[in-house]
Every structure is written in structure tokens, then in C-alpha cells.
Amino acid sequence: MSALLAVSELDVRHGLLQAVRQVSFDVAEGETLALVGANGAGKSTLLRAIAGAHRPAAGRITFDGRDITAMAAHRRVKAGIALVPEGRRLFPNLTVEENLRVAAASGRRGRWTLDEVFEVFPLIEPMRRKRAASLSGGEQQATAIGRALMTNPRLLLLDEVSLGLAPLVVEAVYRSLQQLIEGGTTIVLVEQDLRRAMNVADRVVCMLEGRIVLEGARGELTREQVTEAYFGLRRSETAV
């Protein structure tokens, strides 16, 4: 598999706070990469930098062999990068279908249509005429992922998929995500639930205080190793 995304020595700041420090990793075409770590580890900031929502202070981001470090966010969408942010950020007064159609207008041509999204996320098909503000948390999350898919991305960035959702709803959302993974969608997933992250990902990257402290293929890492890195009980900087 060739590298679709390459992040090299990336630094990202929030004012004087350095949220991401010298982060480097690749994501292959068709791969699912899980970014794990405690609150404040820099995961969401890293995703926003890849999506173009936060300008890096240093380093380089390459997408499909092209340097996109300084590329505007809307141009990255056109290039095939879609972010599902923490908090979903739907248009509350638009219906589910309208939220999806708005995204389609700003994206690329491809396989994802309304019918395709509703097939993968049956949870929201009956809600297509309802305003986003009236949806449950799970319905909003499914709509947010569907909205990203409507841009026909080559790379899907998912931030905190299960946050604040009831367990049964999380199961439904992850069943839909499994279909995306099996269909070859390239995904970078931020998830605090280690069990779920390690179940779906091909590789796991653990961040602590803005740095990568552990990374490796799912089969190479134990739950204990990831948990130790997650809480800073070990400071391994190389793959196991």
C-alpha cells in the first residue's frame, strides 16, 4: 500500500501553548489508523491541522504526494480530505437531507450519494426531513459522518466518534463504520475508547503531551502497552 497521507515533524500551537510536537507518521491508502491518548494529548489539534482548520507552526503535510501544508481548508475538501469534528457541528436549522446536500456541493464527484449514505447509516434515513437540532446524539453523529462522505473523500478524519453517546448507539455507529473500513475507506480515527480503537484499526498511534509515544500495528501492541503509554507510564517513542 502506498502512503496517501504523510505528516512530517509537525508542530502546532495554540498561542504560546505547543499542542503538537514533532509528530511524524504515514497513512497508507485503505488503512485505518487510530489516534489515542488522554484529553489534551493533541489528537484533535492534529486532525484539525491535517484538515486545514489550524495552521501548523512547523513541519510538513503531504497528501497523495502533494505538499498541502499551506493549502486552505476548502481546497483540501476538494482534494479529498473530510473532517468530522468533535461536536458534529451540523447546521441545526437544516434537515438531515439538506445538511448532506450542502456538503455534496463543496466536494468531489464519486460514489457517495444520498442513497449510499442512507444505506450505510440506516439510523438517519427515517430522519431525512427532520431538522438537525431535533436529532439525538447518535443521529447527529451519523449525519455528521454522512455529511463528510457526501464530499467523496479519499481520507476521512473522525474526531471522538463515541463521545457522549449511549453504548447501544455507539454499537450502531461502529457497525456503519465497519462497512466503510471493509469498503476500503482510508480513515484516521480519534477515539478514547481503547477497546474500540484497537478492534477496528490497522495501526494505533498513542499521543501524550503533544508527542507520539507509542505506535505499531494492532497485532504488535497489547492493550497493556497502549494503556501504559496513554497514561504516561512509559515513554517509548518507537514501534514495538
DSSP 3-state of 26: strand
Q: Is residue 154 part of a domain?
A: yes
Q: Is residue 157 part of a domain?
A: yes
Domain hosting 37: range is 3-230
Q: Which three cell numbers stand for residue 227?
A: 494503556
Q: Which helix (H) or strand (E) holds 187?
A: strand 186-190
What is the CATH classification number for the domain harbouring 66?
3.40.50.300
Q: Is residue 133 part of a domain?
A: yes
Query: pLDDT exceeding 70 applies to what percent of the chain?
Result: 97
Distance CA 189, CA 33 (A): 6
Distance CA 145, CA 156 (A): 9
Place 1 in a pLDDT band, splitting at 50, 70 and 90: low
Q: 217 CB contacts (<8 Å, ≥6 apart)?
A: 202, 203, 204, 239
Q: Is residue 237 part of a domain?
A: no
Cell 464530499 locates to 151
Q: Is residue 235 part of a domain?
A: no
* 156 has pLDDT over 90: yes
Backbone angles phi, psi at 64, to 5 degrees: 55, 40
DSSP 3-state of 139: helix
Q: Domains in the chain: how many in total?
A: 1
Q: For position 92, what pLDDT does the model report?
A: 93
